[in-house]
Structure 1
Amino acid sequence: MNGLEDKLRGLSLARRSRPEEPTYLLDVALQPTGLLAVTCSDFTIHLHNKDTLSLVGEHRGHSGPLCGVVFSHASPDLLYSGSADGTVRGWDARRPGTEAAQIFKSDPSHSYCSFDLSCGGTLLCAGTEQVNDEDSFLVFWDVRKPGAGLLGAYSESHSDDVTQVRFHPRDKDRLASGSTDGLVNVFDLSRGAEEEALLATCNSDSSAGSVCWSGADYTRLLCLSHDEGLHLWDLGQLDTDEPLTLFSTSDARSLTPLADGGSVDYLVGGRWLEEAQKLLVVAGMNGGNLHLMECDGGGLRPLRSLEGGHTSTVRCFLWDAAEEALVTGGEDAQLLLWKPGGEGLTAGKRSMKSESALRLKSRPHKKHGYQREKKAAKTASEDTES
Structure 2
Amino acid sequence: MRSVVSVAGSGRPVLVSSGKDGSVRVWDERSGGYGIQMTDLSKSRAFLSFDVSLDGYTVAAGTELHGDDVSVLYWDPRQPAAPLRTHSSTHSDDITVVHFSPSTPGVLLTASSDGLISLSNSEETDEDEAVVNVGNWGCSVSQAGWLPDGSRIWCASDMETFSTWSEELDLLQSHDIRGPCLHSGPRTWVTDYLITASPSSPSGDSSLDVFVGSNEGDIALLSNRDLSTPQSSAQWSLHKLWSTGHEGVVRSLLWDEKDQVLVTGGEDGKICVWPGLSQGGLGGRGVVVEDESAMDVDSDLGNKRSRSRDMDWDAEDVDPNGKNGKRLKR
TM superposition score category, shorter chain reference: 0.7 to 0.9
Cα distance change on mapping 1:301 and 1:203 into 2, 3 Å: farther
Of 180, 190, 199, 1:263 maps to 190
User: What are the equivalent positions in structure 2 for 1:30-69 lying under 5 Å apart?
Assistant: 68-69=1-2
Contact 1:310 1:347 in 2 (8 A): no
- In structure 2, which of residues 141, 145, 154 is the aligned counterpart of residue 208 of structure 1? 141
Equivalent position of 1:227 in the other structure: 159
The code of the aligned residue for 2:71 comes to F
Q: What secondary structure is seen at the aligned counterpart in 2 of 1:184?
A: strand
- Rate the CA distance shift 1:284–1:247 in 2: closer, same or farther, 3 A: same
Report the RMSD for the aligned CA atoms in angstroms. 2.7
Identity level (%): 30
Q: Matched residue of 2:34: which SS?
A: coil
Contact 2:209/2:221, CA 8 A, preserved across alignment: yes
**Deviation of 1:122 (Å):** 1.1
Q: Does 1:136 align with 2:70?
A: yes
Asked if structure 2 preserves the Cα contact closer than 8 Å seen for 1:77 and 1:94, the reply is no
Tell me the TM-score normalised to structure 1 length.
0.65
Q: Could you tell me how far apart the structure 1 residues matched to 2:265 and 2:102 are?
A: 23
Residues 307-338 of structure 1: CA deviation (Å, up to 9, x unaligned): 12222222222333333333322233213132
Amino acid at match of 1:316: S
Say yes or no: does 1:252 pair with 2:187: no
| 8 Å CA contact 1:229, 1:252 repeated in 2 | yes
Deviation at 1:291, TM superposition (A): 1.1
Task: Give the 3-state SS of the residue equivalent to 1:195 in structure 2.
Answer: helix
Question: CA 1:321/1:137 → structure 2, altered by over 3 Å: closer, same or farther?
Answer: same
Segments of structure 1 that go 5 or more residues without pairing to the other structure are: 1-67, 354-386
Over residues 126-156 of structure 1, what are the superposed CA-to-partner deviations in whole Å (9 max), with x where a residue is unaligned? Answer: 1111011x22110111001123x11011111
Q: Is the CA contact (8 Å cut-off) linking 1:253 and 1:264 kept in structure 2? A: yes
- Structure 1 position 94 matched with structure 2 position 30: yes
Query: CA separation of 1:125/1:347 partners in 2, compared to 1, >3 Å: closer, same or farther?
Result: closer
1:341 aligns with 2:279: yes
The amino acid of 1:144's aligned partner reads R
Q: Give the secondary-structure state (helix, strand or coil) at the position aligned to 1:190.
A: coil
Match of 1:196 in 2: 129
- 1:273 aligned to which of 178, 200, 214: 200
C-alpha separation in 2, matches of 1:215 and 1:101: 31
Q: Which residue of 2 aligns with 1:168?
A: 101
TM-score by length of 2: 0.75
Counterpart CA distance in 2 for 1:351 and 1:110 is 30
> SS where residue 267 of structure 1 aligns?
strand
- C-alpha change, 1:326 and 1:344, in structure 2 (3 Å) is closer
- Is 2:39–2:80's contact at 8 Å kept on the other side of the alignment? no
1:307 pairs, out of 243, 248, 263, with 243
Pair 341,293 (structure 1): closer, same or farther in 2 beyond 3 Å: closer
Equivalent AA in structure 2 for residue 185 of structure 1: S
Following superposition, the deviation at residue 226 of structure 1 comes to: 1.3
1:70 is matched with which residue?
Answer: 3
SS in 1 for 2:123: helix
